[in-house]
């Protein structure tokens, strides 16, 4: 007579074999349903097959991918996109009706912008280079102190204004800011 252990082992192996057979039957049934769903002529019928409870997760994923690819709109070429942009612009220009109020506001905004740019341009210093050594000049530092300095040829500065035969320039002083000085005009050349 077989022992209790042997009986349990035999029953366990039979149960495993039965479970494996059952899994194989489910896989086979799912594969058959997937094949049938993929062979469906319309995407609507393929979508309806997604609700089939017999399909396994992997087969349902494959069907979703296939249906998603078939429902995706066809890819558009760049020439079509450019053509569409040109057509949209032509349509907008054809529908555009000028509103006098908008034209006046746009004109005022443009003139204010141009005036601001012109004002900033006129108050921006021009770059100059010292062409020959200038005698000692008095630098006025940002803290209102004064220093004497000999400008060497090749020194770069910013032109701040003209005062007769002399020119007011600004030189950058590290950790202090711009120092200004009056220099003879013939010492400088515009950059």
Structural tokens at position 12? 């366990």
The answer to whether the beta carbons of residues 145 and 130 sit under 8 Å apart is no
Phi-psi region of 107 (alpha: psi -120 to 50; beta: other; left: phi over 0): alpha
Instruction: Identify each DSSP E strand in the chain by its residue range.
Output: 126-130, 134-140, 146-151, 156-163, 166-173, 177-184, 188-190
If one compares 78 and 92, the residue with the highest pLDDT of the two is 92
pTM surpassing 0.85? no
SS (H, E, C) 2-34: CCHHHHHHHHHHHHHHHHHHHHHHHHHHHHHHH
User: pLDDT digits over 79-124, tens only?
Assistant: 666 677 888 888 888 887 888 898 899 999 999 999 999 999 887 8
CA angle (38, 40, 45) in 5-degree steps: 105
Give dist(CA 167, CA 183) in Å, integer: 5
The count of other CB atoms within 10 Å of the CB of residue 148 is 10
> Within its chain, how far is the Cα of 75 from the centroid?
23
User: pLDDT digits over 27-66, tens only?
Assistant: 898 888 888 888 888 877 877 887 888 888 888 888 888 8
In this model, does residue 75 exceed pLDDT 80? no
Residue 189 DSSP class: E
Give dist(CA 57, CA 142) in Å, integer: 77
Helix axes 57-71, 4-38, angle to 10 degrees: 10
**Residue-level pLDDT at 81:** 64
């Amino acid at each position: 007579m077989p022992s209790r252990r042997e009986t349990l082992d035999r029953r366990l192996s039979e149960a495993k074999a039965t479970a494996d057979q059952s899994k194989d039957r489910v896989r086979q049934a799912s594969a058959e349903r997937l094949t049938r769903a993929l062979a469906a002529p319309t995407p609507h019928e393929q979508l309806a097959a997604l609700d089939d409870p017999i399909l396994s997760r992997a087969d349902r994923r494959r069907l979703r991918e296939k249906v998603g690819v078939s429902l995706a709109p066809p890819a558009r070429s760049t020439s079509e996109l450019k053509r569409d942009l040109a057509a949209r612009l032509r349509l907008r220009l054809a529908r555009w009706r000028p509103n006098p109020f908008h034209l006046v506001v746009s004109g005022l905004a443009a003139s204010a912008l141009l005036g601001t740019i012109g004002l900033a341009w006129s108050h921006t210093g021009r770059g100059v280079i010292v062409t020959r050594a200038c005698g000692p000049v008095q630098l006025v530092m940002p803290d209102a102190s004064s220093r004497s300095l000999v400008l060497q040829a090749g020194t770069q500065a910013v032109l701040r204004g003209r005062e007769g035969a002399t020119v007011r320039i600004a030189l950058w002083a590290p950790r202090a800011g711009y120092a200004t000085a009056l220099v003879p005009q013939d010492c400088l050349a515009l950059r």
